[in-house]
Each structure stands twice: as structure tokens, then as C-alpha cells.
Structure 1
């Protein structure tokens, strides 16, 4: 299957990959690895997504047509690229109650109990499909169909930092307090984004993530700073 390479404005292009989610993500990451090795002048940034790779470039240094030809050649050999082994993160989560106000809805929507939602959510190892929305937010896929739940029709104006949510077939952690429409089922003290660190984002594409249930007491003993809850209350 030949990939589509199309212009995206005058200083970027998009490579569209065909195939299943994980396969497409691996090809996007392999393409980035090859482009870095090639050291092509004029490339400014890479933005991988589930079925695409956006490449930002300086059109005064390299043209769209020249860059497209270089990428087409690299795509013929990307299957030979060996990616580094993914890292595994174990994320502690306190589920339900004031920490996960949507747990009850997720259970009722799927016709199961809250305990079953927790078990299903925490027994699977997820992969980082892409980063986006806000700095450090990883789209983790894919949740079991038994707990897939649509997003809120009207997003909340503020979702607390550390909130763990489900949005459709994905789950994720809010790295900072922000607006959001995912169904919040728990909270973690793990921090996926720290602007004072290099790199500031903990996750990388294809990393593995597994959630582990912890008690409220353990969570409170490890959380740093004031805890915000949906609705504006805090401890």
C-alpha cells in the first residue's frame, strides 16, 4: 500500500499511513527515525499521530517536492528499521468516588458493575498511540470494548491534573488541569508532564502503560500539592 504525501500549508506536509492503528503508528515512528538519520536540512519538527505523520519544514531550505521524493525513498526501506524496545510505566490510580465521578456512569452505560470497570481498565497493558490535545497528554489504546464510553456532550471547563479518563476507545491521564470531555474514573499522582525536566514529557510513542489500583490513603500520602476535584472542591 502506497502512502499519500500531501502538502499541509506552505511549510508542512502530511504522510498518511494505511493499515491498522498499531501498524500505522510503528511506521510513523520508523519514518521519523530514518529522517533523523538522514539529517535532511530544513526539517523543523515531526508530529506523529495514529494514521499520519506531519513534518514541519523550512520551504526556504527544502521544497515540498524534494522532501516528498526523499520520504518516498525512505518509505521503501522503513521495514528494515529496528525500533528501540518500548518502556513500561506502571501508573497508580485511585478509582471512583470524588476521584472518579464518572465511574458509575461508565459502569451503567456498559451494563456492568463499578468493580468490573476497574478490573477491566487495570488488567490491560495499553500503548501510547499519540501525544496531543495538551502537553503530555497521551492517547492510550485501546480500552476493552466492554468499557468503551462516549465523551461528554458538553466538555467540563476544568478537569483536575492527574485525572484518569475514558474517551471512546481510548484512556488517558490529564497532565495538567484543563478543559476536557473524557469520562473521569480515577486519579493518579504520577506526573506525565513537567516543564522543568528535559524532556518535559515522560511518555513516547509506543510506550506501554499499565494502571494499578491503589487505596485512597496511599494516594493521599503520595500526592504533591493541593488536590482539585471536579466541581471545584479541594483538600
Structure 2
């Protein structure tokens, strides 16, 4: 892990993978450890923001002292097999089930990329234990990990000018759900009525980093 200063009150943890553990697992391990440390009063930070391969700590009263602390903290880093087994066996009641109507216009394209029939795509998506790695692009947009790396998909060559709210989509190694209507270049496989972002809710995002997610055919 490399620690980089960002402005006067923030640090960026670069979790670029150096082992067989996926970067997403390294980021999740550090996110969980930092949230735990903050809850116990060992870390003072206004924001802990995970991304694809980094974690941003913002609102630090003393970034230099925090950086020294980070060098002494070591989260439990599971290996890739442990990550997959843990996600497959999770049954603690914290999983969010997302009802999905699988009628997306890009289902045939996904099936072609994966070399399977459309029903096999649906079976894969409904049997995969997803986890929210981070949120981005738009408020409440969850980037879901869980699909094998070999099933990564290209984005559309030309993004759609408007993707409907609730659209369930795939791109790269991620699955995602559009919380509101917006342009987008991900492959659309379905749609859900689940509200993902409500500015009046606490928290506003229905699916935050670390949340376990499973898709279910509506």
C-alpha cells in the first residue's frame, strides 16, 4: 500500500494488488478496517471513500500522524479463494435482494460475449453473491463485484444518451444499477423498481460500500 497526500487534510491509499488477491478485495479489506478504527475512536476522518483501487481519507485533523498510524495497521487480507467462499456462504441477514425484470436490450450481446445462451446469463446473475465495492458516476450508483474476471465486458462503442432509472447493467468486471436517468454506455440486462438514492433518507444511498447484494428474477 502506498500513501499519498491529497490537499491539506486528506490521504489516498493506493491498494494496487501485489498478490493473487484482487484489488477489489484489498480495497474492501482496508475500507472495513478503517471504518472499524473510526467507530472505535482510533481514527478521526470525515470521509472514507473507496474506489476501484484506492481509498480516500478526507477531513483528517493531522494527515501526517494518520499516515504514520496507517503504516502500523494491517487489515486481514483474505486470499482469492477465501473471498469467493466467504461471499458464497454469507447468510447473516444483511444481504440486499434486488428484484430484477431481466428484459434488457443487451442480453443477447452479453450472452454472445460469454458464449452461452440468454437463460445461462440470467442464472449466472441470480446466483452470484455481489458486493458493493464503491459508488460513483452518479449519486447512489453502486459498482458491484462478484463476477469472474474472465466475464468482463466492453462498454458500448457509443453511449446511450438516456438510460432509464433502475436499469441493471454490466461493464468491465462490474455490475451496476442506474439510480436515476442518465447517459450511459453499460450493457443493459434488466431493470428494478428498487429506489437506490433518496436525498431525504439516512443514509441517502440504498446500497453503500461493503453491502452484500443478490439479484432475484422479478
TM range (shorter): 0.7 to 0.9
Q: Counterpart of 1:25?
A: 28
Post-superposition offset of 1:195: 1.2
Could you tell me which of 5, 11, 34 is aligned with 2:37? 34
Q: CA deviation at 1:144?
A: 4.0
Task: Quote the Cα distance in structure 2 between the aligned partners of 1:28 and 1:128.
Answer: 12
Contact 2:14 2:53 in 1 (8 A): yes
Q: Report how far residue 146 of structure 1 moved.
A: 6.7
- Aligned match of 1:71: 70
> 1:145 offset after TM fit, Å?
5.3
Q: Secondary structure at the match of 2:208?
A: coil
Structure 2 residue 201 is the aligned partner of structure 1 residue 194: no
Match of 1:87 in 2: 94
Query: Is residue 93–residue 188 contact of structure 1 (8 Å, CA) maintained in 2?
Result: yes
Q: Tell me, in whole angstroms, the C-alpha distance in 1 between the residues paired with 2:142 and 2:5.
A: 26
**Change over 3 Å in CA distance of 1:23–1:68 after alignment to 2:** closer
Residue 153 of structure 1 pairs with residue 177 of structure 2: no
TM-score (norm 1): 0.75
Instruction: Report the CA distance between 1:125 and its aligned residue.
Output: 1.3
Deviation at 1:36, TM superposition (A): 4.1
Give distance in 1, aligned partners of 2:68 and 2:98: 42
Question: What is the TM-score of this pair, normalised by structure 2?
Answer: 0.81
Sort the Cα spacing of 1:86 and 1:68 in 2 relative to 1 into closer, same or farther, 3 A. farther
Counterpart residue number, 1:172? 176
Task: Give the CA deviation at 1:101.
Answer: 1.0
Residue 205 of structure 1: SS of its match in structure 2?
coil
For 2:144 and 2:102, the matched residues in 1 are separated by 17
C-alpha deviation, 1:138, in angstroms: 1.0
Give the drift of 1:37. 2.6
Q: Which segments of 5 or more consecutive residues in structure 2 lack a partner in the other structure?
A: 77-91
In 2 relative to 1, CA 10–163 (structure 1 residues): closer, same or farther, beyond 3 Å? same
* Deviation digits for residues 91-118 of structure 1 (CA, Å, limit 9, x no counterpart): 111112xxx1111211223332212211
In 2: Cα distance, 1:179 partner to 1:10 partner: 34
Please list, as runs of the form range in 1=range in 2, the aligned pairs for 1:25-64 lying within 5 A after superposition.
Answer: 25-38=28-41, 43-57=45-59, 62-64=61-63
- Secondary structure of 1:108's partner? helix
CA distance in 1, matches of 2:119, 2:105: 14
Moved more, 197-206 or 27-36: 27-36
Greater Rg over alpha carbons, structure:
1
Q: How many residues align?
A: 198
Structure 1, unaligned runs of 5 or more: 80-84, 215-235
**CA–CA distance in structure 1, aligned partners of residues 151 and 125 of structure 2:** 8
Shift of 1:40: 5.1
Deviation digits for residues 137-190 of structure 1, max 9, x if unmatched? 111112245753211122222111000000111111111111211100100111
